[in-house]
Chains A and B, each alone.
Chain A
Amino acid sequence: MTGETAAIRAPLRRRTLLAAAAAASIPVRAHAQGAGAWPNGPIRFVVPFAPGGTTDIMARLVGERLQARLGVPVVVENRAGAGATVGSQMVASAPPDGQTIVMSNIASHAISPSVYRGVRYDPVKDFAHIAMVTVNPSVMVANPKFEAQSLAEYIALAKARPGQVNYATSGAGSSNHMIGVRLGLAAGIELVHVPYRGAGPAMTDVIAGVVGVMFDSLPSASSHIRAGSVKALAVSSEERNPAFPDVPTFREQGVDIVSYSWFGISAPAGTPAAIVERLNAETRASIAEPAVAARLDELGGSPRDWSAAEFTAFVAKEYETWAPVVKASGASAQ
């Protein structure tokens, strides 16, 4: 019940509002006015994850640039919960006036809708998908003392001892969990998934040698790879990552897995086309700025200069791709 009521109020951050009021007229019932005046008041940028995570960081990087470009405050609001579906649900039922947008991602719009019962939005139909920000590959890392020090050795080990070889991930139903499921299916091996509450604790146990192998997103694992506390065995991108040219892809090693976690911007379905176009253009311009591009690069992500239509098609394809994998994983809530 609170989801809907919360969704129909615009964010009001008093001090920023005062600044906005000077620039625009005082924003009373922003959605009652036509799209012509957009943006007319602060834009509420919902991040469906807790502050401090990759999604949050991406949103804050881009949000800050959008704020400068649009001339209105872009207020990041964290609404975590239920695999990013709580925040996404809120945006799906917000008025389609361009004043409320969400940092859509692989969890909220591709995997979680198949995992969580009680998700009431359709990740494709209930949103106007605006722009892709960046995609991140995942990486398979191993403790340097683990028996298997390559993907081939890992598969051989799992074949020799079926049902006794583990991998850690940041959680059940995460995109990294799905890579583990796909690896099991593709190589015909039986692996044991050891889920954690987030990537941090999982990485701790891999470094400590409790679990031998982990699938993690490249940005969160990169500092540990560089420091040598874990060894990277494979990346999930189509080609090798420029930051880690020595790490082979899954494909090179004969396993057909290509997987990216991605972060984009979406608005409620029915948002006027003019607003979608403007936001798409400003987002693409923001991520093309050298300073932002450099930061995204450090984070291990590659920006995507896509139109809204391209992004929408991508989301639809992702949702279709992941639903059967989720079923195979048994991670479905019911």
Chain B
Amino acid sequence: MDLLNNLAYGFGVAATFQNLGACLIGALLGTAIGVLPGIGPVATISLLLPLTFGMSSTTAIIMLAGIYYGAQYGGSTTSILMNLPGEVSSVITALDGYQMARNGEAGPALAVAALGSFFAGSVATLLVAASGPLLTSVALSFGPADYFSLMFLGLIVSAVLSEGNVVKSIAMMVAGVGLGLVGTDVQTGQQRFTFDIPELSDGIGFAPMAMGMFGVAEIIRNLEMPEVRDALKTKITRLWLTKDQFRRVIGPVLRGTALGSIVGILPGGGASLSSMGAYTLERRISKNKHNFGKGAIEGVAAPESANNAAAQTSFIPLLTLGIPANAVMALMVGALIIQGIQPGPRMIEAQPDLFWGLIASMWIGNLMLVVINLPLIGMWVRLLKVPYDLMYPAILVFCAIGVYSLNNNSFDVFTTVVFGFLGYVFSKIGCPPAPMLIGFVLGPMMEEHLRRAMLLSRGDPMVFIERPISATLLGLALLAVIAMALPSIRKTKDEAMAGG
């Protein structure tokens, strides 16, 4: 067995004192920056780059990778406890995770996030080891038309992310697409809707927007209803999953892992689409449908598994093609180049230490993370008992510093304020913020791929139907629209009858 030999070799590399230490430091740092709102892995890794100059390339990359997937673990904590998501995947986790916390179930929510992440991370790591090079073809088989259809499907399903009026959800999503277009146009370099403000030329920041609409707006809502939030504190009950909950999350974790592993390979939108897709899938097929959005444990298990699986498989394009899938991967390429290693298609043969050592360390790191995180749950839950008048200024300060540190620029703090205001107004008029954030992320990517596909097909829209991948995805989108329209048509009919 080649694979077993290679894995054994990898564990030999990863289990040295130095590499285990690097893995632990990376995982701890990652957890810390994941828990702190705003501060992301990109900022942390770029600050740590000079430190890695003195290490061997394998040790350096093990540590940086630890920060990356550690941040994925930690990111769920703040969104569950405080409704403070810093990236797309945490937005999805916050939907049901924060509601669970409000129902006094923060413990089980955090536990299932950690366990689901561990399971998904372990499986996805094995997948990278066993068939990384093979899976590369997935990334290469997606052309611009296919990406467009994938983004389109993502947008369509995002409309069902929230409860309530579907038309308002769709409007929020479309408004998000529009906001996503602010900034420099990729195709022509033209500035759109920037009012000549240089900070806007790269678009509105996602983290300031998400933290404003979720976290800051939530603080204002909590302040306005002191009786509700005080009542919550007394409700904290269990720290661990019940048998019934455990049974209920097995399916979602398995499906989330599978979906995340595949979608994560796609460079670009992979990671964000995976958790959303997993959530929507569960929402469609779960027996517990009516509970989604009100604190369904399935709604935490599925996206958390998917996002962690995707975090592991997103290494595939980097390790097999030398092409970074996102900003964190780009930083790792930088770290490798400084070490004198040019990441490229031949890296597995040329640097077996690095490849197999990294794979083994990912598995060890995931184990470390679950061991670190499970005992912390008690502490996190106790945090909810802190009186709110001490809690909310602290949240605000962490938000402010975190957002500032994204670009070392106060502009992002002001963006957070604007979206905090908007988020509060939206909550008063029944407009859900999650679809807006999804539209914001997917919209610009969709535009890019649409324009590229049309440019390459010389203006022939048939390209979206002729390519099998694209046609399949568009077919799924059509099904989703029909599935969405049916109940609401029926409902309107019923209402019209009842009202008439």
* Residues of chain A having any CB pair with chain B under 8 Å: 2-3, 5-6, 50-53, 56-57, 60-61, 64, 76-83, 85-86, 89, 115-118, 164, 166, 171-173, 192, 194-198, 200-201, 203-205, 207-208, 210-211, 222-224, 226-227, 229, 295, 298-299, 330-334
- CB of A116 to closest CB in B, whole Å: 7
> Is A330 in contact with B323, judged by CB distance below 8 angstroms?
no
> Is A224 in contact with B201, judged by CB distance below 8 angstroms?
no
- CB < 8 Å neighbour of A201 from B184, B267, B408: B267
Known interface pairs A51-B49, A78-B46, A195-B187; 11 further A-B residue pairs with C-beta atoms within 8 A, sorted by A's residue number: A79-B408, A118-B196, A172-B189, A173-B189, A192-B455, A204-B139, A223-B343, A223-B346, A330-B188, A334-B190, A334-B191
> Is B201 in contact with A81, judged by CB distance below 8 angstroms?
yes
> Is A89 in contact with B345, judged by CB distance below 8 angstroms?
no
Which residues of B335-364 have CB atoms within 8 Å of chain A's CB atoms? Answer: 335, 337-338, 340, 342-346
- Beyond A117-B191, A171-B186, A330-B188, whether A50 also contacts B140 by CB under 8 A is no
Task: Report the separation of the CA atoms of residues A178 and B420 in the bound assembly, to the nearest whole angstrom.
Answer: 42
Task: Report the separation of the CA atoms of residues A83 and B157 in the bound assembly, to the nearest whole angstrom.
Answer: 34
- CB of B188 to closest CB in A, whole Å: 5
- CB of A23 to closest CB in B, whole Å: 18
Interface centre among A89, A200, A229, A299 (most CB of B within 10 A): A200
- CB of B111 to closest CB in A, whole Å: 35
Task: Report the separation of the CA atoms of residues A89 and B189 in the bound assembly, to the nearest whole angstrom.
Answer: 18
At the interface, yes or no: B144 with Cβ under 8 Å from chain A?
Answer: yes
- CB < 8 Å neighbour of A60 from B49, B201, B327, B344: B49
> Is B186 in contact with A172, judged by CB distance below 8 angstroms?
yes
> Is B409 in contact with A2, judged by CB distance below 8 angstroms?
yes
Provide 11 A-B residue pairs closer than 8 Å at the C-beta atoms, listed in order of the A residue: A51-B46, A51-B331, A52-B46, A53-B334, A61-B338, A64-B53, A77-B408, A171-B189, A173-B189, A331-B188, A334-B190
- CB < 8 Å neighbour of B456 from A166, A173, A197: A166
At the interface, yes or no: B163 with Cβ under 8 Å from chain A?
Answer: no
> Is A200 in contact with B198, judged by CB distance below 8 angstroms?
no
Task: Report the separation of the CA atoms of residues A50 and B197 in the bound assembly, to the nearest whole angstrom.
Answer: 19
Closest A-chain residue to B318, C-beta based?
A200
Which residues of B200-223 have CB atoms within 8 Å of chain A's CB atoms? Answer: 201-202
At the interface, yes or no: B42 with Cβ under 8 Å from chain A?
Answer: yes
> Is B199 in contact with A81, judged by CB distance below 8 angstroms?
yes
A-side contacts of B144, CB under 8 Å: 205, 210
Which residues of B401-454 have CB atoms within 8 Å of chain A's CB atoms? Answer: 407-411, 448, 452
Closest 8 CB pairs of A and B: A223-B344, A52-B334, A51-B46, A82-B201, A52-B330, A52-B331, A227-B345, A172-B189
- CB of A195 to closest CB in B, whole Å: 5
- CB of A56 to closest CB in B, whole Å: 6
B-side contacts of A211, CB under 8 Å: 456
> Is A197 in contact with B409, judged by CB distance below 8 angstroms?
no
At the interface, yes or no: B45 with Cβ under 8 Å from chain A?
Answer: yes
Task: Report the separation of the CA atoms of residues A210 and B199 in the bound assembly, to the nearest whole angstrom.
Answer: 33
> Is B322 in contact with A224, judged by CB distance below 8 angstroms?
yes
Task: Report the separation of the CA atoms of residues A115 and B411 in the bound assembly, to the nearest whole angstrom.
Answer: 23
B-side contacts of A117, CB under 8 Å: 191, 196
Closest B-chain residue to A75, C-beta based?
B50
> Is B409 in contact with A6, judged by CB distance below 8 angstroms?
yes
> Is B330 in contact with A200, judged by CB distance below 8 angstroms?
yes
At the interface, yes or no: B372 with Cβ under 8 Å from chain A?
Answer: no
> Is B448 in contact with A229, judged by CB distance below 8 angstroms?
no
> Is A197 in contact with B321, judged by CB distance below 8 angstroms?
no
- CB of B228 to closest CB in A, whole Å: 37
- Beyond A51-B49, A85-B198, A118-B198, whether A208 also contacts B140 by CB under 8 A is yes
- CB of B342 to closest CB in A, whole Å: 4
B-side contacts of A61, CB under 8 Å: 338
- CB < 8 Å neighbour of A52 from B140, B333, B340, B342: B333
At the interface, yes or no: B268 with Cβ under 8 Å from chain A?
Answer: yes
- CB < 8 Å neighbour of A204 from B267, B342, B410: B267
A-side contacts of B53, CB under 8 Å: 64
> Is B198 in contact with A203, judged by CB distance below 8 angstroms?
no
- Beyond A200-B267, A201-B267, A223-B322, whether A333 also contacts B189 by CB under 8 A is yes
Closest B-chain residue to A67, C-beta based?
B50
Task: Report the separation of the CA atoms of residues A150 and B313 in the bound assembly, to the nearest whole angstrom.
Answer: 36
B-side contacts of A172, CB under 8 Å: 185-189
Task: Report the separation of the CA atoms of residues A332 and B185 in the bound assembly, to the nearest whole angstrom.
Answer: 11
- CB of B404 to closest CB in A, whole Å: 10
A-side contacts of B194, CB under 8 Å: 118
- CB of A247 to closest CB in B, whole Å: 17
- Beyond A50-B327, A210-B456, A227-B346, whether A3 also contacts B198 by CB under 8 A is yes
Task: Report the separation of the CA atoms of residues A223 and B20 in the bound assembly, to the nearest whole angstrom.
Answer: 30
At the interface, yes or no: B5 with Cβ under 8 Å from chain A?
Answer: no
> Interface digits, B252-290 against A, CB 8 Å rule (1 contact, 0 not)?
000000000000000110000000000000000000000
- CB < 8 Å neighbour of B327 from A52, A79, A83: A52
- CB of A46 to closest CB in B, whole Å: 10
B-side contacts of A56, CB under 8 Å: 46, 334
- Beyond A51-B334, A223-B344, whether A331 also contacts B452 by CB under 8 A is no
Closest A-chain residue to B196, C-beta based?
A118
At the interface, yes or no: B234 with Cβ under 8 Å from chain A?
Answer: no
Task: Report the separation of the CA atoms of residues A173 and B327 in the bound assembly, to the nearest whole angstrom.
Answer: 21
> Is A89 in contact with B340, judged by CB distance below 8 angstroms?
no
- CB < 8 Å neighbour of A299 from B327, B333, B337: B337
Closest B-chain residue to A52, C-beta based?
B334
> Is A208 in contact with B201, judged by CB distance below 8 angstroms?
no
Closest A-chain residue to B411, C-beta based?
A2
B-side contacts of A85, CB under 8 Å: 198
> Is B202 in contact with A57, judged by CB distance below 8 angstroms?
no
> Is B345 in contact with A200, judged by CB distance below 8 angstroms?
no
> Interface digits, B12-51 against A, CB 8 Å rule (1 contact, 0 not)?
0000000000000000000000000000001001100110
Task: Report the separation of the CA atoms of residues A82 and B200 in the bound assembly, to the nearest whole angstrom.
Answer: 9
B-side contacts of A173, CB under 8 Å: 189
A-side contacts of B343, CB under 8 Å: 223
> Is A333 in contact with B333, judged by CB distance below 8 angstroms?
no
- CB of A256 to closest CB in B, whole Å: 26
B-side contacts of A223, CB under 8 Å: 322, 342-346
Closest B-chain residue to A115, C-beta based?
B189
- CB of B436 to closest CB in A, whole Å: 22
- CB of A326 to closest CB in B, whole Å: 9
B-side contacts of A331, CB under 8 Å: 188-189
A-side contacts of B140, CB under 8 Å: 204, 207-208
Closest B-chain residue to A291, C-beta based?
B340
At the interface, yes or no: B143 with Cβ under 8 Å from chain A?
Answer: yes
Task: Report the separation of the CA atoms of residues A299 and B342 in the bound assembly, to the nearest whole angstrom.
Answer: 9
A-side contacts of B242, CB under 8 Å: none
Task: Report the separation of the CA atoms of residues A56 and B324 in the bound assembly, to the nearest whole angstrom.
Answer: 16
> Is A80 in contact with B321, judged by CB distance below 8 angstroms?
no
- Beyond A2-B410, A78-B46, A208-B141, whether A333 also contacts B342 by CB under 8 A is no
- CB of B477 to closest CB in A, whole Å: 22
Task: Report the separation of the CA atoms of residues A197 and B202 in the bound assembly, to the nearest whole angstrom.
Answer: 12
> Is B321 in contact with A116, judged by CB distance below 8 angstroms?
no
At the interface, yes or no: B332 with Cβ under 8 Å from chain A?
Answer: yes
Task: Report the separation of the CA atoms of residues A19 and B476 in the bound assembly, to the nearest whole angstrom.
Answer: 60
> Is B186 in contact with A197, judged by CB distance below 8 angstroms?
yes
Task: Report the separation of the CA atoms of residues A227 and B133 in the bound assembly, to the nearest whole angstrom.
Answer: 14
At the interface, yes or no: B458 with Cβ under 8 Å from chain A?
Answer: yes
> Is B331 in contact with A204, judged by CB distance below 8 angstroms?
no
At the interface, yes or no: B317 with Cβ under 8 Å from chain A?
Answer: yes
